[in-house]
Amino acid sequence: MLGVALLLQNGGGACAAPPSSTGHEGKATFYDLAGTQGNCSFDPPADDLYVALGVDQYSEALSCGSYIDVTGPKGKVRVKVFDKCPECTPGWLDLSRTAFKKIASESQGVVPITYKAVPNAATPGPLTITFMEGASQYWWAILIDNHANPIQKVQAKGPGGSWMTAGHEDYNAWLIDRRTGPGPFQVRMTDIYGNVATAKNIKLTPSKRQQTPVRFAGSSGAAADAGAATKSSKSSSSPAKSASPATSASPSDSALPSNSARPSAAGLPSPAKTTAISETPVSPDLALAAAVPTPPPATC
């Protein structure tokens, strides 16, 4: 039923859902990033292994932060969903140049592939929460990273308050567009498999990445009490209210030059550049309840 619900909430299209963990056939191209971030508002991963998905499989940012294994003529690579490819049809994966070279020769441009999503993939670090640039108690907006599994629901509440449900924007911000109070907040996140993670004492400090010791990936069993968060660090600047990153350069399909400009998301400006600041400690107290059911079926 969850797979059906995901299809319906994204318009009912046959492939309006993230890729599933069942193997699929498709094609891969590559592109060079135009700007500093993809449409998911993430900076490129340190290994430069990422993918842009077509509108249906991007699924209004639901796929952001998840991982896909891609196998081509030369080998296999694991990539992070990082960007949106407006012209890509379901099954067309537009890889970073670095990722493409791991599965095929760059000169080939476009190659047949098989691919599948990776539930509970390992992440480069614990779950992080970053208030977007311009966030305030009147425009509550966060970016969540290192969750690996697609996040279906985010809720937050301040001291003495009740849970407020955030909406998910196409550029991957979770927004509560009403007065929330100054915090600090509890943030409760639920992935598409039913895993729930609740972070406490998240401070309303824009553009600082609040790192926690909790991971969605690989979690199982009863609820576990996590210790204090280790640190808060400056993240890359995120879009202000009603803004979204520009999309990347277009893919290198046989009919499309590899470095041509990809159309931007309509009316959406590019994000600001990264500004580094010193790290300051934070201490959110976190709890994780994670019993991982069988991943729901999907058709993409």
Please name each of the domains of the chain with its CATH number. Answer: 2-117 (2.40.40.10), 128-240+276-289 (2.60.40.760)
User: Tens of pLDDT along 254-275?
Assistant: 333 333 333 333 333 333 333 3
Task: Report pLDDT for 284.
Answer: 36
Query: Residue range 100-119: average pLDDT?
Result: 97
pTM value is 0.71
Do 193 and 149 contact (CB within 8 A), yes or no? yes
Exposure string of 64-96, with b = 16+ CB inside 10 Å and e = fewer, is bbbbbbbbbeeeebbbbbbbbbbbbebbbbbbb
Q: By percentage, how much of the chain surpasses pLDDT 70? A: 67
How many residues belong to the chain?
Answer: 300
Task: Report pLDDT for 32.
Answer: 95
Q: By percentage, how much of the chain surpasses pLDDT 90? A: 57
3-state secondary structure the chain: CHHHHHHHHCCCCCCCCCCCCCCEEEEEEEECCCCCCCCCCCCCCCCCCEEEEEHHHHCCCCCCCCEEEEECCCCEEEEEEEEEECCCCCCEEEEEHHHHHHHCCHHHCCEEEEEEECCCCCCCCCCEEEECCCCECCEEEEEEECCCCCEEEEEEECCCCCCEECEECCCCCEEECCCCCCCCEEEEEEECCCCEEEEEEECCCECEEEECCCCCCCCCCCCEEEEECCEEEECCCCCCCCCCCCCCCCCCCCCCCCCCCCCCCCCCCCCCCCCCCCCECCCCEEEEECCCCCCCCCCC
User: Tens of pLDDT along 229-243?
Assistant: 434 544 443 443 333
Query: Residue range 264-288: average pLDDT?
Result: 35
Instruction: Report whether pLDDT(46) > 60.
Output: yes
C-alpha distance from residue 209 to each of 141, 232, 277 (Å): 13, 5, 11
Task: Report pLDDT for 127.
Answer: 86
Pairing of strands 67-71, 140-145: unpaired
